[in-house]
Amino acid sequence: MSETDLQKAEALTVHMASAREALAVMDARLAVIHSQTPPMAWRLRTGGFEGLFRMIVEQQVSVAAAASIWRRVGEGLGEISPERVLALDVEVLRSFGLSGQKARYAHEIARAHSDGRIDFDHLERLDDAQAVAALTAIKGVGRWTAETFLMFCEGRMDVFPAGDVALQEAWRWADRQEARLKERDFYKVSEGWQPYRSVAAQMLWHWYGAVKRGEITLEP
């Protein structure tokens, strides 16, 4: 990560602290989660084409497998760029450990940038809704991927992946409901957390993990 990215991550972490306080005022259920969750650092990842490509590579495989495959991809490509990806056919990309589907998605993402359908170098010029629309227009990029990319690779403060099962389950616990909210209903709930929905998501993820590890006991 570059020095600029490190500075950005530090700034986001500072902003997150004040955003948590604001969220606790907005929603009593988030106030409980805030009180039970220690300070968090914003896990900023590499952005741009490389960031989205890596997110696709890492999906549906273990952390160890993802790291191994990504290392082979980096070694095989030399430079991780749309141009290098398009210079190699699908079978060569598969030799780096990618599935056939992920290799094809890599071409789709690279081609979208090359054709000008999306500009990874200046994605910040689009607002959140426009950026999600541009990303999901690429074959292989779903809404969850687009939203988490904008959160962790772009450092955007107000996106919320309501389709995430862990977030849905955490909110079911917090709201003391029998069933998880449907995605569309969860999006509506999250509107009340603007402009800090990314922070709310990270609070819920951290809280969910702590409950699962037995560090926090849910009240009956």
Which residue type does 27 have?
Answer: D
Q: Quick one: pLDDT at residue 209?
A: 96
Half-sphere exposure of 118 (CA within 13 A, CB side): 25
Rounded Cα–Cα distance for residues 187 and 160 (Å):
7
Q: What is the DSSP string of 72-126?
A: HHHHHHSS-SHHHHHTS-HHHHHTTT--HHHHHHHHHHHHHHHTTS--GGGGGGS
CA distances from 121 to 49, 50, 51, 86 (A): 8, 11, 11, 17
Q: Quick one: pLDDT at residue 196?
A: 98
Q: Quick one: pLDDT at residue 1?
A: 63
Q: What is the mean pLDDT of each run of 10 residues along the chain (220 residues)?
A: 82 95 98 95 93 94 94 95 96 96 97 94 93 96 97 96 97 96 97 98 97 90
Q: Do 102 and 70 form a contact (C-beta atoms < 8 A)?
A: no
Rounded Cα–Cα distance for residues 196 and 22 (Å):
8
Q: Quick one: pLDDT at residue 88?
A: 96
